[in-house]
Amino acid sequence: MSYFLKSERARFWILVAIVSISGFSQGMLLPLIAVIFEQDGVSSALNGLSATGLYIGTLVIAPFMEPQLRKFGFKPLLVFGGGLVIVSLLSFPVWKSVAFWFALRVLIGIGDQALHFSTQTWITSTSPQHRLGRNIAIYGMSFSIGFGAGPLFVPLVNIFEPLPFIVSGLLCLIAWSFVFLLKNDFPEVTTGGVHSSKGVFGRFKAAIVIAWIAFLPPLGYGFLEASLNAIYPVYALRQSIDIALVSIMLAAFSAGAIATQLPLGALSDRLGRKNVLIGALIGGAAVFGAASFFEANAWLTVGFFALAGMFVGSTFSLGISFMADLMPKELLPTGNLLCGIAFSVGSLAGPFLGGLFVEYVESLSFLLLISVMLLIIGIIIVLKGNQRQERLPLSQE
């Protein structure tokens, strides 16, 4: 047991398992509540606004995460975050109310922020430079696997409405129990480093100046993921697409992401994060744009979703790796936190703007909104990505 507690390999795979179950709960929760509210007659705008609760929680707690991580270490944050998510998931069946469910989503957002911030920072802080892209790709792939499986459990609502919440809560409980096997660790502090004496907001400012370009991919992926899972089911139902097919579409996107997550991560170790990100973003924009013209064929749309996932499903993990390439070691916790904040900002904007789009723009496909967003971020990285020299992998240094 002592070997297990100290094994870096065992720790890595426990962190990967925790992230996959967290992804499962998020992937299930977004379309599940969207479908329940849509069937109950809740407007798409309010539906989208309710979905932002998860990301409001991540933003509210974000400024307090880094000091707690430096003070208490990784393990206590994982215990806190996982426990809060489990209790919140099992509380959904207690009372069906838009306001109460919004509050629970805020709490889940707080718990997820603790989980993802601590796992991301632990992995980026301990991964060697030449394997960083690969390790973060595995991290992202595990989240995508969980997130992709989540929507497949939405039809359980037809058996017993609380059943999906109970299943998700119990799976999170199983994964969370492994955290107690880990030995606590702390992020690296560079004594006398140029950033080591700065306060929280001083480190925020320094990290943004150094690597702001790397925060755009997580922001875009947050917009994509949240709007696709919270609002697209509403849009699809209004287009008379069966809910079971919607679940398959969302799962196809995640399947595509899983298929290319590791290859793209390894490729970015060789070709550079920026180059791979540009290709992924512009390719994803093209696929979503093309899909908007073929929505009448649901199964063809499934294929487009899978192809889009192959392009942009790695955007978040590539953004984290890009940030880690640019960031000094002592600012890695700050950089990981800002990646999470950027993701949350995009996730807040996605359901809200997507809900307004579905409510008031009937002549254009919802998929065009996603396509334009990806294209804009890709163009910004093309134009501004050379402002700071990307640190090369070890094999090229």
Evaluate whether residue 284 is within a structural domain: yes
Give the pLDDT confidence score for residue 97 in this predicted structure: 85
Residue 190 lies in a domain: no
Rounded Cα distance between 253 and 251, Å, is 5
Supply the pLDDT for residue 137.
82
Q: Between 148 and 236, name the one with better pLDDT.
A: 236
Angle subtended at Cα 133 by Cα 181 and Cα 123, rounded to the nearest 5 degrees: 25
Percent of the chain whose predicted confidence (pLDDT) is above 90 = 21
Residues of the domain holding 91: 2-179+198-396
pLDDT at 59 over 90: no
Average pLDDT over residues 291-304: 88
More confident residue, 373 or 202: 373
Whether the per-residue pLDDT at 289 is higher than 70: the answer is: yes
Lowest mean pLDDT among 132-146, 156-170, 193-207, 234-248: 193-207
Within a 10 A sphere around the Cβ of 214, how many other Cβ atoms? Answer: 30
Reply yes or no on whether the pLDDT at 135 is more than 50: yes
Mean pLDDT (whole number) for 335-353: 85
> Taking residues 162-182, what's their average pLDDT?
88
Q: Given pLDDT bands bounded at 50, 70 and 90, which one contains residue 386?
A: low
Give pLDDT, residue 298.
81
Q: Is residue 187 part of a domain?
A: no
For residue 23, pLDDT beyond 50: yes
For the stretch 255-272, pLDDT in tens is 898 888 889 888 888 888
CATH number at residue 35: 1.20.1250.20
Residue 191 domain flag: no
CA 193, CA 195: separation in Å to the nearest integer? 5
Asked if residue 193 has pLDDT above 60, the reply is no
Q: What is the mean pLDDT of the chain?
A: 83
Please tell me the predicted confidence (pLDDT) of residue 282.
Answer: 95
Has residue 202 got a pLDDT over 60? yes
Of the candidates 32, 47, 35, 37, the residue with the CA atom closest to the CA atom of residue 359: 47
Q: Is the pLDDT of residue 126 over 90?
A: no
What secondary structure letter does DSSP report for 328? -
Of the spans 53-62, 109-118, 134-143, 285-294, which averages the highest pLDDT? 285-294
Give how many domains the chain has, as a whole number.
1
Is 146 inside any structural domain? yes
Q: Is residue 143 part of a domain?
A: yes
> What average pLDDT does this structure show over 326-346?
85
Between 126-140, 181-195, 338-352, 372-386, the lowest mean confidence (pLDDT) is in 181-195
Q: Give the C-alpha separation, 108 to 102, whole Å.
A: 10
In a domain, 184, yes or no: no
Higher-confidence position of 200 and 336: 336
> Is residue 278 domain-resident?
yes
Dihedral sign from CA coordinates of 54, 97, 152, 362: negative
Give the closest residue to 223 by CA, choosing from 124, 56, 370: 370
Cα end-to-end distance, the chain, whole Å: 39
**Sign of CA pseudo-dihedral 24, 25, 27, 31:** positive
Residue 93 has pLDDT above 80, yes or no: yes
pLDDT at 223 over 70: yes
Average confidence (pLDDT) over 212-238: 87
| Residue that is written with structure tokens 């994509």 in the block | 224
User: Residue 285: which pLDDT band, with cuts at 50, 70 and 90?
Assistant: very high
Q: Is the pLDDT of residue 393 over 70?
A: no
Give the whole-angstrom CA distance, residue 221 versus residue 96.
30
